[in-house]
Amino acid sequence: MIVAPSVLSADKSRFRDEVLKVKDAGAEFIHLDVMDGKFVPNVTSLIEYLPSIQDIDIFKDAHIMVMDIRGYAKAYAPYSSLITFHLEASEDVKGDIDFIRSLGCKVGLSIKPATPPEALIPYLPYLDLVLVMSVEPGKGGQAYLDEANGKIAYLKKAIKERGYNCLVEVDGGINGETGKIAASYGADVLVAGSYIYGHADYRERIEALRRL
């Protein structure tokens, strides 16, 4: 399992150190949550912190929960390996995918709990990752919604059948138990914020998820 610790729950005053610690503990991705106060009520900017981790060799997985997809993509592209935007925020999904790719980043597309996974099917050939939200986007520490399970299985099967090269990532309420469930339905990447950064021993928590 690929583990993607979410910096939403990290101590921003020690940002670089928080990223180094999870990398050393075996995390292959670092999940960078960005919020605009419009698509979701909260605002989270990481722009001031990201230059400090530019030299760290870890896959930078940006999750932009924003309405202005291209504006944020442009700002975050220099610091991101992949940028995931929300289907619900886009008026031109294929155009936004192409735009992000033209910035030199891989591309992910996410759906909120109320959006059916069928909505992602037309875009699968163009994506590197699909992100199933297992909580309402906007804040950490919420409980995992079981409705995500069927979506994970559906998308995993659709990708496999068509032979696409696209990861299935799950974000929200992931812990040792819910991570095991998401893994059993076919998740390739597990995002975890409070489960990792809210615990004294990051390594123990990352290892528990990696084993899944």
Does 179 bind ligand DX5 (CB under 6 A)? Our answer is no
Does 22 bind ligand DX5 (CB under 6 A)? Our answer is no
Q: Which residues contact 201 (CB under 8 A, 6 or more apart)?
A: none
Which one from 36, 128, 171, 188 is the annotated catalytic residue?
A: 171
Interior/surface letters 84-105, b for 16+ CB within 10 angstroms, e for the rest: bbbbebbeebeebbebbeeeeb
Which position among 33, 96, 128, 169 is part of the footprint of Zn ion (CB under 5 A)? Answer: 33
Q: How far apart are CA 184 and CA 156, in angstroms?
A: 11
Q: Is 36 a catalytic residue?
A: no
Q: How far apart are CA 136 and CA 211, in angstroms?
A: 27
Q: Which residues contact 155 (CB under 8 A, 6 or more apart)?
A: 117, 120, 130, 132, 168, 186
Which one from 33, 36, 61, 128 is the annotated catalytic residue?
A: 33
Does 5 bind ligand DX5 (CB under 6 A)? Our answer is no
**Binding string to Zn ion for residues 193 to 212, with x set by CB under 5 A, is what?**
--------------------
Q: Which residues contact 202 (CB under 8 A, 6 or more apart)?
A: 5, 21, 22, 25, 196
Residue 9's binding partner out of ligand DX5, Zn ion, none, with CB under 5 to 8 Å set by partner kind: ligand DX5
Q: Is 33 a catalytic residue?
A: yes
Does 85 bind ligand DX5 (CB under 6 A)? Our answer is no
Which position among 21, 23, 63, 205 is part of the footprint of Zn ion (CB under 5 A)? Answer: 63
Taking CB under 5 A as the binding criterion, the range among 54-62, 87-95, 170-178, 181-189 that sits at the site for Zn ion is 170-178
Which position among 44, 90, 115, 142 is part of the footprint of ligand DX5 (CB under 6 A)? Answer: 142
Q: List binders of ligand DX5 among 106-135 (CB under 6 A).
A: 135
Q: Which residues bind Zn ion (CB under 5 A)?
A: 33, 63, 171
Hey, which residues are catalytic here?
A: 33, 171
Q: Which residues bind ligand DX5 (CB under 6 A)?
A: 6, 8-9, 31, 33, 63, 135, 137-142, 171-174, 191-195
